[in-house]
Amino acid sequence: MPTVNLDKKTVLRYIGKNLTDKVLLEKIPMLGTDLEQITDDEIVVEIFPNRPDMLSEEGFSRAFSAFMGIKPGFRHYDTKKEGSTVAVKDLPKEWPYAVCAIVRGLKLDDDKLKSIIQLQEKLGVTLLRRRKKGGLGLYPLDKIKLPVTFTSYKKEDIRFRPLEGSAVFKADDILIKHPKGKEYGHIIEGWSRYPVFVDAEGTIMSMPPIINSHDVGKVTDATKNVFVECTGTDLNTLKAAMNIMLLTLADMGGKIYSLEMDYGKDKFSCPDFTPRKIKIDKAYAERLLGLKFTDSEVKDLLSRMGLGFENGCALVPSYRTDILHPIDLVEEIAIAYGYDNFESEISDAATVGSESSKTIFLRKVSDLFVGLGYLECKSFHMSNARTLFDKMNRKVSVDLVRTANAVNIEYDAMRNKILPGLMKILSENTHNEYPQNLFEAGTVFLKDKSLETNVSETVSLAFASAGLVSDFSQMKAAVESFALNLDIDIKFEEHDDSSFISGRCARLVLGGKIVGVVGEIHPSVLVNFGLDVPVSACEIELSKVMDAVQKH
């Protein structure tokens, strides 16, 4: 979670009341933030990822002053039309969206600049996923000529002086030599064209999401009017980030002016501060919280969270990205009511805890393999297609469960097998002596459209042996010991699997159902994982085995 250092005097000025440290220490954690410390000059808080609107003095004060009842209720922000258009066209498919606006009449100083930079960086890390989902930029309006265009150029046609750069660079040189290029260049690596903002005179303003131009993209304390843009992969996320920045600038005294975003066939005005309406089910909230509320009390509690109330609906500000469902409104009501005000009650249901049959079964399996001389491992549920399929000589399965907007390409999918994870562990321990015998029993994930989550979770067991004498016979003996201890009859049938050596592989059959595969790992798989000793391995679907044991 991001930690922000807020200027204490600025926060108290925005709140509109000189609160004591004692009150701040008591109340700030009640809002849903983790208070690190309060000094004479700063309030250091850890902001939960669901509240990016609180990443600045202005946003934090807006939320806290409402919570304290000092400035409750939904806040309205006015906008005027600038009368200019931003054309969005000819962009790479990886970076297709932009939203822009103008803020005039700012009176900036060092503290406000520091707050803007901190908010820009923290939004980039959180809401915009380390710029993988988007980038946010500000420019002094007097240095650019409207209208502005967001488009793309061939990288060899891009030349400008990057922010705080010493000279004019080509695009690729910026990625190699500039600190921001080194940090974020991987985002646009391999693109045939790079996105750029250009003004009416053709001046390159920036190369999102990497860096602004030093000549026309550096905001200082002398800047009165700014052009604000947010570009990236998801339009709704960009609008949310933009709104958070614009309202922060508005709280600093700026006046917001909207621009028309022209996508060709689609056009819309930006920003749009229209609140979302979510129906409040009072009975639902009362049942979950164990309380009774009047409509007036609901309205008052929502106002303390900066929300409006109208005709039985909550009015959710455009910058509150965390409120998506009626349960989120229940949480808002609970926070405003005060968790310290809930009375503790002992449940009238008496229960006795006990281990589930699944836990007992898994412990028995673990004890068995420890007794056979195997070392238990616990690897991540997250992996990637390269490890799960490419390195294992398998074609990518349509059943692979992938994550959206993964932060790290090494962990962008849920594992559908455990054996690739064991192979990875072996590849990371080639410096240790052999033989190495490993096993893991854990959850694997597959797509299943019949379920509400579209994902099924089953339990699998994988074990592997690496060493000069590792072979099929060793694995066969381990499987037979496994079956003997569980009093089941597992049969071996000839089988071909691209991960194993042909003729030294078998599938495991239990009660007429295929429950696993065993064999000697194919040499090309060993090469893929950087292993220079033979490996024999097995993977068994424990869920099927467990069902068979219980029926038996």
The rounded distance, in Å, linking the Cα atoms of 227 and 241 is 15
**Burial of 292 by CB count in 10 Å (0-12 exposed, 13-18 middle, 19+ buried)?**
exposed
Q: Are 193 and 152 in contact (CB under 8 A)?
A: yes
Q: What is the pLDDT of residue 398?
A: 65
Kindly tell me if the per-residue pLDDT of 247 is higher than 70. yes
* pLDDT value of position 136: 96
The chain-wide mean pLDDT, for the chain, equals 93
Alpha helix locations (H) across 163-292?
171-177, 179-184, 235-251, 282-289
CA distances to 138, 142, 252 from 224, rounded to whole Å, are 12, 9, 12
How far apart, in whole angstroms, are the C-alpha atoms of residue 311 and residue 174?
A: 54
Q: What pLDDT is stored for residue 225 in this prediction?
A: 97
Burial of 415 (0-12, 13-18, 19+ CB in 10 A): buried
Structure tokens at 516: 């696993």
Neighbour tally for 100: CB within 10 Å: 26
CA 62, CA 118: separation in Å to the nearest integer?
Answer: 17
Domains and CATH numbers, the chain: 3-65 (3.30.56.10), 79-270 (3.50.40.10), 276-338 (3.30.56.10), 357-551 (3.30.930.10)
**pLDDT confidence of 552, banded at 50, 70, 90?**
low
H helical segments located in 428-513: 472-486
| pLDDT cut 70: percent of the chain above it | 99
119, 248 contact by CB (below 8 A):
yes
Q: Is 90 left (phi over 0), alpha (psi -120 to 50) or beta?
A: left
- Amino acid present at 220: T
Which tens digit of pLDDT belongs to each residue from 130-179? Answer: 999 999 999 999 999 999 999 999 999 999 999 998 899 999 999 999 99
CA dist 479 and 365 (Å) reads 12
Q: Mapping DSSP to helix (H, G, I), strand (E, B) and coil, where does residue 536 land?
A: strand
334-383 pLDDT, tens digit per residue, is 999 998 899 888 878 778 888 888 889 999 999 999 999 999 999 999 99
Which burial class, exposed, middle or buried, applies to 341 when counting CB atoms under 10 A from its CB (0-12, 13-18, 19+)? exposed
C-alpha span between 32 and 525 (Å, rounded): 49
Q: How far apart are CA 441 and CA 460, in angstroms?
A: 6
Question: Rg for the chain (alpha carbons), in Å?
Answer: 29
- Tokens 């983790």 -> residue: 34
- Extract the tokens encoding 290: 């164990």
Interatomic CA distance for residues 378 and 90, integer angstroms: 47
